[in-house]
Amino acid sequence: MRKLLITGGAGFIGSHVVRLFVNKYPDYQIYNLDKLTYAGNLENLTDIETRPNYHFLKADITDAAVIDELFARYEFDGVIHLAAESHVDRSIKDPLAFIQTNIIGTVNLLNAARNTWKDNMGEQRFYHISTDEVYGSLGEEGYFTEETPYDPRSPYSASKASSDHMVRAYFHTYDLPVLISNCSNNYGPNHFPEKLIPLVIHNIRNNKPIPVYGDGKYTRDWLWVMDHATAIDTIFHRGRIGETYNIGGNNEWKNIDLVQNLCDIMDELLGREKGASRKLITFVKDRPGHDKRYAIDATKIKTELGWQPTLASIEGFRRTAQWYLDNESWLEKVTSGAYQNYYSEHYSHYK
């Protein structure tokens, strides 16, 4: 029996992690703590919201007093920490929000866990979910390993790097039982359409221009979000305390190739003439400090814990596109109101 706190469980990856744990571990009490920012959406979890082992706590991790009070009240013995400001473009516009949530929010959780567990440190786990972006940018060759020195280059990745360092500092200084994983780009259902894949699908559906930054030759490694959730389950239960695990899809795509592929899948699903959606591709001004390439060496998690990705990318992209077409009302809700303002403001600078 565990009392497990999952932060950011109303977001993209968090909602898949919450669902997996609620279904797989009926003996655990799962507490989903989320502020419900623009990126948090409880509609992601309607299928499990009435389960007896699921509880929602609306709270802000930047509020130390509230976090302390929740730890005192529920005595969590495990934490999977996903809550974050997660979009690179927004971090370029407003770095401070990323410092507050990603760094200060993480330290508030570390302090609360330490205070609650300090007299009885044992089977508890503080598992921090991080990103491959902390390692910086690769050239055409090479991969990020767990030993790659940190070299973050955006306010987002710098804030995540800082939070990783704080988590490690609490392990070395206070013996807090921590785990960290650094994952590549996720994709799949419930992804907020400010990120490349859902934005492209949404724009194709609405016959809107598809903004591709710079020359489109930037490379990302894409992982099916449910594969990330199973990796998190594996690391939470079997990872070695104090260790870091890289998670990747072994699935590199240049942005322009990925976008063209999505165009072809959407043409097929929408019954459009082949090549119709590719006409929407529009090269726009580049993202400042745009990292050229991310690629993960996931040997450690494979050899030590036996985890590897399961879904081939073309099948995954197709399933993702189909999910957005089947869930038009979800997409319409999240793209009404504030999203419209974000979109027109952001892309007016990227002409």
User: Which active-site residues does the annotation give?
Assistant: 132-133, 156
Residue 181 engages ligand DAU in binding (rule: CB under 6 A): no
Residue 192 engages ligand NAD in binding (rule: CB under 6 A): yes
Sequence-distant (6+) residues with CB within 8 A of 53 are 22, 25, 26, 27, 28, 29, 30
Q: How far is the CB of 349 from ligand NAD (least distance, A)?
A: 21
Grouping H, G, I as helix, E, B as strand and the rest as coil, residue 172 is helix
Ramachandran angles phi, psi of 15, nearest 5°: -65, -35
Toward ligand DAU, which CB reaches closer, 49 or 151? 151
Name which position in 19, 35, 87, 153 contacts ligand DAU (CB under 6 A): 87
Residue 212 engages ligand DAU in binding (rule: CB under 6 A): yes
Residue 61 engages ligand NAD in binding (rule: CB under 6 A): yes
Question: Binding segment for ligand DAU among 68-76, 83-91, 139-147, 235-243 (CB under 6 A)?
Answer: 83-91
Residue 129 engages ligand NAD in binding (rule: CB under 6 A): yes
Sequence-distant (6+) residues with CB within 8 A of 245 are 146, 179, 180, 181, 182, 231, 235, 239, 300, 301, 304, 305
Name which position in 30, 82, 178, 262 contacts ligand NAD (CB under 6 A): 82
Q: Please choose which of ligand DAU, ligand NAD, none residue 234 contacts, taking the beta carbon within 5 to 8 angstroms, the exact cut-off set by kind.
A: none
Ramachandran angles phi, psi of 179, nearest 5°: -140, 150
Nearest position to ligand DAU, beta carbon: 131
Binding footprint of ligand NAD, residue count (CB under 6 A): 29
Of the chain, the end-to-end C-alpha distance in Å amounts to 54
Q: How far is the CB of 81 from ligand NAD (least distance, A)?
A: 7
Toward ligand DAU, which CB reaches closer, 77 or 133? 133
Angle of helix 106-117 relative to helix 64-74, nearest 10 degrees? 30
> Per-residue x/- marks for ligand DAU, 220-259, CB under 6 A?
x----------------------------------x----
> Per-residue x/- marks for ligand NAD, 138-177, CB under 6 A?
----------------------x-----------------
Residue 196 engages ligand NAD in binding (rule: CB under 6 A): no
Residue 266 engages ligand DAU in binding (rule: CB under 6 A): no
Residue 309 engages ligand DAU in binding (rule: CB under 6 A): no
Question: Binding segment for ligand DAU among 127-135, 227-235, 307-315, 332-340 (CB under 6 A)?
Answer: 127-135
Toward ligand DAU, which CB reaches closer, 28 or 342? 342
Residue 60 engages ligand NAD in binding (rule: CB under 6 A): yes
What is the C-alpha separation between 46 and 42, in angstroms, rounded? Answer: 7
Q: How far is the CB of 186 from ligand NAD (least distance, A)?
A: 4
Contact yes or no for 243/177 (Cβ under 8 A) = no
Angle of helix 313-326 relative to helix 255-270, nearest 10 degrees? 50
Sequence-distant (6+) residues with CB within 8 A of 138 are 144, 292, 293, 294, 295
Contact yes or no for 171/178 (Cβ under 8 A) = yes
Residue 86 engages ligand NAD in binding (rule: CB under 6 A): yes
Q: How far is the CB of 279 from ligand DAU (least distance, A)?
A: 17
* Alpha-carbon radius of gyration of the chain: 20
Q: What angle do CA 231, 88, 317 make, to 5 degrees?
A: 50
Q: What angle do CA 119, 124, 126 make, to 5 degrees?
A: 110
Q: Please choose which of ligand DAU, ligand NAD, none residue 295 contacts, taking the beta carbon within 5 to 8 angstroms, the exact cut-off set by kind.
A: none
Name which position in 40, 152, 155, 211 contacts ligand DAU (CB under 6 A): 211
What is the C-alpha separation between 35 and 43, in angstroms, rounded? Answer: 14
